[in-house]
């Protein structure tokens, strides 16, 4: 992906979040990476979305050194960069405080896979990180947020595939989502909020609900992903 | 209904779902049938609603063979076709993941007839299917979804009339609705979501609520249906 | 109020309900009365709001005989008429299935006076009627709905003043509201829905909440009503 | 701040509340103060927002004497004035009946600091006042509302800094917010409603949730406030 196209794609991903009602004021940010050069384009910090221009996007390398752009990058930059380093398959990252996903994060609860809408996008519960310790918060907080995410995906004897579960809830904070492109990451963030909303209602209607069976999870996930997919217009 | 008119009606039914906020991205689909020819028009799979043209709709026969159209039909086609075969009185089918109806489906709970809004459209609770087994999900899943619906309506010693209860919740999935025309099916899907929303609130406010009495159910349902109806401008 | 003005006011009250999101499809209706002639203007039955013209409104006398208009009056006419006969101070009646107020009605719960927003409009809880009996439903159902409302206001040793509590919930059905004019009735219906929504949230946050003290109820109600009012631009 | 600019800023703050959906009809009001002259500009009472012109704003001194303007000031004027007198650092005050914040006020519950969205704006729970006594309500009610707020901030051995916690819930009533300017006060009111909404969901999902740790509260609050801030484009 050339840098001009990257900028456009990242701007568009940011605007998609606004159009879909996930953003209040300047909350949230989307970024994208050009894997060839290793350059990342990200929203500047605290700039109103309605005024965003392609040239306002900040270009950095994977260490966070600004390569191009007059504005400060998003204050969440270090989390984005760590995710790009830890998850080589992803091409876009989105962070929002979308309200239902944030509520699950604040409640410290993973979002169970209650139905097929969830299964179409997330192959299992959307996990929640551990709370950051006082040391982690007092230290390089933004980087440590990324570390908590990466740790959560590596955890236990069955590490999670970031493309199979392209979202996480940071405990007491809010979701991070990603995808193979910035557009894909934004799309996943929008669907996550819808899934979080429906899961909230489901949990209220049936507190004992444990979610769909593994065979349904498999079926719906692989319906949209991988060689055997049957959804959409692409020929396999 | 001529095929041109069928296409228009199905396109319009799909767009009504969007206008009423039942659709996120490409989720959901509406179809219609011309009973004379046995041809069904259905939304193509994964195509954005805002770009839908009448010619994009896919025409199939009742066995699912594409008769006309360059695109793949909705991945839910087999469920639609089974409903047309099992319920000869219906002329349109709608599937959405509208959020409150989906939450009831995910919770595995039927929607009780809590009030007269419900009774005006659904003569009794909106039923929920059994969960599909691993074999059903692993086999012809989309067809088996339809079978679970048909089984639910045939169940017990008092089978349900599909026109008296023009909606069902597929457990762990989402609602299917129908009607005598595609427009009617879409209208029922919109009302189902409103009824599901009000039922959610009602259930929260009064968990012990059992819903309206049979005489009220009768009165409201027959007020809008059948020879004695007193609502609207049509003369009986 | 002259009949032309009455028609305009009733049309406008119907449209206000739509603008404020209280109406789905053709649900709901507003009417107004000219007390001098005793003529009532009401929405026709089942006509889409967006097509409503002043001439579509149906004019009847207080016995329900159509005086002018080519369309059938709202199927709820008999309830409106009974309210005009029983409550001589009111000049407009509104019926909606607005979702939160309807949920309280379906739950069979009065809306407690939880706060000052409520107290500014409703001098005490918004009452709920008894459920109608099978005989009442099987008989002149629409009239009997009005009778249940009137009975609820006359009930006990402290009958309610319809202008102090300009709304009621019909159990298992939905709210009726009224006011000194059609505009006032519509305004009260809009506020009732907001109050019902906030009461729903309040009840979830604090199930034991009993609502505001009598002195606060008095203060807020009389702030907006009666000779000592201090709100707005009118000079007393 | 010159008086012309004050009027503009106060008008704009009032309109921001409308744009963000915090206002129903004429509920709510925003004001601003010119600290040099001690003059306060406030919304007139009961005037529709869509008709508000700069010249409609009422100018008073800190004792409530109208200095300029043909209309009556907001009926909540005395609360605003007391807040300006008690909290010398603030330059704008906003009162709304925004629905989720009002629900917490009606429930008599403070809004816990459940997450970082909260911590970015409010350094600790959003407090709730005591209920006003019958004497306070029967006396100078609007002034006494202000007194209850001021008392709440002075309470205990750790008085609250109004700029660190720029909002309060008046029990059984609704929120008051403030800020260094009218725009800031309106912004805080909008964020408070979002925070109240997310806290409502969080509390439902996890009733035992106690909120974020002190170190996270510190980190997020000081990220946006004070000399060490790292958010936005301003250079420190």
Predicted ipTM of the assembly: 0.95
The chains in contact with chain C, meaning 3 or more Cβ pairs closer than 8 Å, are B, D
Residues of chain A positioned with their CB less than 8 A from the CB of B47: 233
Residues of chain D positioned with their CB less than 8 A from the CB of A24: 190-191, 194
Active site residues of B: 120, 231
B134 vs A205, A215, A230: nearest CB:
A215
Residues of chain A positioned with their CB less than 8 A from the CB of B111: none
| Cα-based distances in Å from B69 to B40, B59, B66, C65, D43 | 12, 6, 7, 55, 61
Q: What is the pLDDT of residues A174-210, one digit of tens each?
A: 999 999 999 999 999 999 999 999 999 999 999 999 9
CA atoms of B120 and B224, how far apart (whole Å): 6
| Cα-based distances in Å from C117 to C180, C198, D189 | 20, 9, 17
Q: Where are the alpha helices (DSSP H) in chain B?
A: 3-19, 77-86, 99-107, 116-119, 134-138, 141-154, 182-205, 214-224
* Interface touch D205/A109, C-beta < 8 Å: yes
C219 vs D102, D103, D137: nearest CB:
D137
Percent of chain C at pLDDT > 70 equals 94
In contact, C75 and B223? CB cutoff 8 Å:
yes
Q: What is the pLDDT of residues B4-57, one digit of tens each?
A: 999 999 999 999 999 999 999 999 999 999 999 999 999 999 889 989 999 999
Residue C87: pLDDT band (50, 70, 90) is: very high
* Closest CA in chain B for residue A206: B107
* Interface touch D198/A103, C-beta < 8 Å: yes
- pLDDT, average across residues C15-25: 97
pLDDT at position B183, please?
98
* Closest CA in chain A for residue D214: A134
- pLDDT tens digit at each of 236 positions of chain A: 589 999 999 999 999 999 999 999 999 999 999 999 999 999 999 889 989 999 999 999 999 999 999 999 999 999 999 999 999 999 999 999 999 999 999 999 999 999 999 999 999 999 999 999 999 999 999 999 999 999 999 987 789 999 999 999 999 999 999 999 999 999 999 999 999 999 999 999 999 999 999 999 999 888 777 666 666 665 54
Q: Which of D58, D71, D77, D107 to mutate to test the interface with C (most CBs of C within 10 A)?
A: D107
| Nearest residue to A97 (alpha-carbon basis) of D14, D152, D220, D133 | D220
What is the SS3 assignment for B131?
coil
* Interface touch B117/C27, C-beta < 8 Å: yes
DSSP for chain C, written as a single string? --HHHHHHHHHHHHHHHHHTT---TT--EEEEEETTTTEEEEPBTT--GGG--GGGSEEE-TT--EEE-SSPBPTTHHHHHHHHHH-TT--EEEE---HHHHHHHHHT--B---SHHHHTT-SS-B-BPPPPPHHHHHSSHHHHHHHHHHHHHH-TTSPPPTTTS-EEE-TTS-EEEEESSHHHHHHHHHHHHHHHHHHHHHHHH-TT-----HHHHHHHHHHHSSTT--SSS---
Residue D74 main-chain phi, psi, to 5 deg:
-45, 140
D156-188 per-residue burial string, b: 16 or more CB within 10 A, e: under 16: eeeebebeebbbbbbbbbbbbbbbebbbbbbbb
- Count each helix (H run) and each strand (E run) in chain A, helices first: 8, 7
- pLDDT, average across residues D208-218: 94
What is the SS3 assignment for D102?
helix
A233 vs B45, B137, B173: nearest CB:
B45
Residues of chain D positioned with their CB less than 8 A from the CB of A209: none
In contact, D218 and A33? CB cutoff 8 Å:
no
CA atoms of D68 and D71, how far apart (whole Å): 9
Domain definitions of chain C by residue range: 3-224
* Interface touch C202/D174, C-beta < 8 Å: no
* Interface touch D99/C204, C-beta < 8 Å: no
What is the SS3 assignment for B82?
helix
* Interface touch D45/C205, C-beta < 8 Å: no
* Interface touch A75/D202, C-beta < 8 Å: no
pLDDT at position D30, please?
98
CA atoms of B56 and B41, how far apart (whole Å): 10
CA atoms of B218 and B216, how far apart (whole Å): 5
* Interface touch D115/A174, C-beta < 8 Å: yes
* Interface touch D172/C223, C-beta < 8 Å: no
CA atoms of A159 and A104, how far apart (whole Å): 22
A106 vs D114, D194, D223: nearest CB:
D114
Q: What is the pLDDT of residues C99-141, one digit of tens each?
A: 999 999 999 999 999 999 999 999 999 999 999 999 999 999 9
Instruction: Indicate if D231 belongs to the active site.
Output: yes
- Residue B148 Cα, gap to closest chain A Cα (Å): 15
CA atoms of B116 and A134, how far apart (whole Å): 55
Residue D175 DSSP one-character state: E
pLDDT at position C131, please?
97
Cα angle value D114/A42/A78 (rounded, 5°): 55
Q: Which fold is adopted by the domain A3-224? A: L-fuculose-1-phosphate Aldolase (3.40.225)
What is the SS3 assignment for A177?
strand
CA atoms of D91 and D184, how far apart (whole Å): 9
Residue D225: pLDDT band (50, 70, 90) is: confident
* Interface touch C206/D97, C-beta < 8 Å: no
- Residue A106 Cα, gap to closest chain B Cα (Å): 21
Q: What is the pLDDT of residues D141-172, one digit of tens each?
A: 999 999 999 999 998 778 999 999 999 999 99
- Residue C1 Cα, gap to closest chain B Cα (Å): 28
From the candidates A63, A120, A135, A161, give the one annotated as an active-site residue.
A120
CA atoms of D42 and D23, how far apart (whole Å): 16
Instruction: Indicate if A161 belongs to the active site.
Output: no
In contact, D97 and D57? CB cutoff 8 Å:
no
* Closest CA in chain D for residue C187: D25
Residue C235: pLDDT band (50, 70, 90) is: low
Residues of chain C positioned with their CB less than 8 A from the CB of B202: 103, 106-107
């Amino acid at each position: 992906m050339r840098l001009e196209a990257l900028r456009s794609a990242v701007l568009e991903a940011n605007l998609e979040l606004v159009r879909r009602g996930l953003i209040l004021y300047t909350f949230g940010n989307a970024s994208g990476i050009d894997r060839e050069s290793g350059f990342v384009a990200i929203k500047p910090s605290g700039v109103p979305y309605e005024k965003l221009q392609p040239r306002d996007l900040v270009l950095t390398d994977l260490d966070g050194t600004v390569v191009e752009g007059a504005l400060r990058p998003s204050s969440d930059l270090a989390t984005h960069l760590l995710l790009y380093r830890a998850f080589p398959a992803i091409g876009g990252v989105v962070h929002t405080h979308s309200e239902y996903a944030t509520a699950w994060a604040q409640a410290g609860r993973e979002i169970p896979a209650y139905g097929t809408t969830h299964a179409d996008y997330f192959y299992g519960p959307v996990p929640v990180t551990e709370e950051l310790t006082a040391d982690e918060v007092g230290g390089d907080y933004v980087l440590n947020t990324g570390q908590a995410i990466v740790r959560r995906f590596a955890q236990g004897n069955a590490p999670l595939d970031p493309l199979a579960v392209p979202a996480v809830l940071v405990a007491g904070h809010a979701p991070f989502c990603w995808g193979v492109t910035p557009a894909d990451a934004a799309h996943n963030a929008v669907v996550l909020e819808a899934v979080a909303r429906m899961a909230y209602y489901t949990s209220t209607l049936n507190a004992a609900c444990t979610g769909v069976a593994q065979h349904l999870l498999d079926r719906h996930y692989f319906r949209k992903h991988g060689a055997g997919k049957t959804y959409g217009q692409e020929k396999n």
